[in-house]
Amino acid sequence: YLGKDFLVKSSYGHIRDLVKGDMGIDIANNFHQTYEVPPDKKQVVAELKKLAKDAEMVWLASDEDREGEAISWHLFETLGLKEAKTKRIVFHEITKPAILKAIETPRTIDYNLVHAQQARRVLDRLVGFELSPVLWKKVKPSLSAGRVQSVAVRLIVDREREVNKFSATAAFKITAQFTTGKGREIVKAELPHRFDKEADAEQFVNDCISANFTVSNLETKPAKRNPAAPFTTSTLQQEASRKLGYSVSRTMQIAQRLYESGRITYMRTDSVNLSDTALQAAAAEINSAWGEKYHQLRVYKTKSAGAQEAHEAIRPTYFNHHTVPGDSSEQRLYELIWKRAIASQMSEALFEKTTAQIGISTRKENLVAEGEVLKFDGFLKVYLESHDDEDAEEADDNNMLPPLTRGQQLELKELNATERFSRPPARYTEASLVKKLEELGIGRPSTYAPTISTIQNRGYVVKEERDGRQRSFSAITLADGKVSKQIKTEITGAEKGKLFPTDIGEVVNDFLVEHFKGIVDFNFTANVEKEFDEIAQGLQEWTKMLHSFYTPFHIEVETTLENADRANGERLLGIDPVSGKNVYAKVGRYGPLVQIGELTDDENDKPRYASLAKSQTVATVNLEDALEQFKLPFQLEDYQGKEVSVGVGRFGPYVKWGEAYISVPKNEDPLTIDIDRAIEIIGEKITADAPIAEFDGLPV
């Protein structure tokens, strides 16, 4: 785009950071920072220094956000650049017009943005550097804590406890299917309320045996649906999770590649704005593809706190590019972005919604049938937004009703009274956690993905599938004039891709809630984010903000180190019927465990310990299941002259064969393993470890 006089080079992100192994911050000297160039960036810096020295002008073109501005400032300082030979340019899409416009309108480094980044970096280093040793001493060695991450863990812990405390209530849902007579078309209806007692539901069904069913009222009215705004970072992460199954970090990695290849605008944004140029391009594409009646100019306003309206939403750089080259993940994410952006400028969808009241001659209640007919598809021609709907299985899709008239007699095909249960709050997915953090004003577009990765990498949270449990329910059916009752079963509580706190995550969370309320307080953390925004806008001095945070925080650290008891999440489960001693569940040095007995001075009366199974947690394990763990390890028959035993260790259950430890497959109960199953597990390990080929006579 710029001709042969320009040479474009990358710094590959930050080229220096606070020194490692030391705090790197002189608190007494107004939070002065000591930076270093890490080893993996020394060659990059050396090359950039040489090129900058020989250049007539250096153009700093990092992203226009706090981190991007800080990168430009670090380059300016580290490369020894001069203001007269340095210009700062910004663009939000890698296209020729955007880059040429940036060259025409350079600026200087925005030190307000730099100071906002420094404030965040320093504050997070202070929290990590002072809080982690407290956790080492009071909870467990090698732990660490972060400001935003700790709040994210608290959300997940709080939700898990809500789920575990939840007690489901049952009620009977009435549904019916009718036919219209001649056309034999199906009408689905439902009773608006539910029966708390099975006897009342059964009475309702019995009353319907000889009933006549008549359309008592018919109401038809227009309805409309508007498109969603174009994507922000948060909504892209949520929708890519729901529609494509991508993790938050994967979405950002793919979006980064699309941005760098000039396919989309900058992907870290909380704005829903579209530029005038983009609005015109979208209009032209819509009018060309579907006609003017499908176009509707729409200007969206950003609702999230701290949003930067100067930025744009995530959109294609060229609306006439419906697809892009690249791997399938890039193509799928681009298609999602293109559809969402183009749909945001399209007409509303128009429906005709019909509600039929169906009278029952033997009852005072009415059944209700609802349906809708799409009259004009509008934006639905391109895109339909997804939702995290935990009640999806309870709801029928919007169905079309056949033509009905008031007073029309309907023939009952089947009527069901089915026992249904209230649901606990939904556990968080990565995407719904991002949504919650955004609602609370915690974190910013650049921090959502790293936060969610960090809490998993630190072992405070796991994302996994969990099996459900079988549940019985009653079902009463009226068909062909006869009532039948059945007890059916279903699987409930199965989870896929949900976030669960680990035992150590719960212990650390509870310790922080007790001793460092500010760190895990939602409002406090959101207010800190607002203060960073104020620094970025030049409304607050960054070192004053740090002093106001650090002074009370440091006092809390000193007080906690001196006075707080050790934390291990200990729960008294009951009494061991064999020894008569107390049984506890808690977090030990190597993970969650069960303990029988107390620590005493008597060398002959030491507590006994057993690791919890992977499926068990300190918070939920009961006495019976805990005592089962003391059956491990147990000896089996020898195999091929070597001893075979089953046990559980730091890394989970295992089969020991001679000196070899072989992991038991995930979700298999080690207590059920006999010698035949142990031999199978040993054989699978031998097969997996066997050489697959030979090279120069050597196995590989």
Catalytic residues: 266
Q: Which amino acid is at 4?
A: K
Measure the CA–CA gap between 231 and 273, rounded to whole angstroms: 10
Measure the CA–CA gap between 137 and 246, rounded to whole angstroms: 38
Residue with tokens 């406890």: 161
| DSSP collapsed to 3 states, 191-221 | CCCCECCHHHHHHHHHHCCCCCEEEEEEEEE
DSSP assigned state of 311? S
Q: How far is CA 694 from the centre of its chain?
A: 45
Measure the CA–CA gap between 271 and 249, rounded to whole angstroms: 20
Please answer whether residues 117 and 67 qualify as being in contact, where contact means their C-beta atoms are separated by less than 8 angstroms.
yes
Joined together, the tokens standing for residue 299 give 């200007």
Joined together, the tokens standing for residue 553 give 């925080």
Measure the CA–CA gap between 484 and 470, rounded to whole angstroms: 22
User: How, if at all, do strands 58-60 and 86-88 pair?
Assistant: parallel
Q: Which amino acid is at 396?
A: D
- Give the Å distances, CA to CA, from 112 to 239, 266, 673: 33, 21, 64
Measure the CA–CA gap between 412 and 415, rounded to whole angstroms: 7
Q: Which helix (H) or strand (E) element contains residue 454? A: helix 448-457
Residue with tokens 């992991």: 663
* Residues in CB range of 598: below 8 A, 6 or more apart: 581, 582, 607
Residue with tokens 């620094």: 535
Measure the CA–CA gap between 629 and 625, rounded to whole angstroms: 7
Exposure of 122 in the CB half-sphere (CA atoms within 13 A) = 26
Measure the CA–CA gap between 18 and 259, rounded to whole angstroms: 28
Please answer whether residues 370 and 219 qualify as being in contact, where contact means their C-beta atoms are separated by less than 8 angstroms.
no
In degrees rounded to 5, what are phi and psi of residue 517? -55, -40
Joined together, the tokens standing for residue 687 give 């097969």
The number of beta carbons lying within 10 Å of the beta carbon of residue 9 is: 11
Q: Which helix (H) or strand (E) element contains residue 151? A: helix 147-165
Measure the CA–CA gap between 85 and 148, rounded to whole angstroms: 39
In degrees rounded to 5, what are phi and psi of residue 583? -115, 130
DSSP assigned state of 18? E
Paired strand residues for 225: 349
Give the residue ranges of DSSP H helices in 245-383: 248-260, 276-290, 328-343
> Which of 16, 22, 21 lies closest to 36 in space, CA to CA?
16
The secondary structure of the chain in percent helix, strand, coil, rounded to multiples of 5, reads 40, 25, 40
Paired strand residues for 478: 415, 483
Measure the CA–CA gap between 264 and 249, rounded to whole angstroms: 18
Q: How far is CA 499 from the centre of its chain?
A: 7
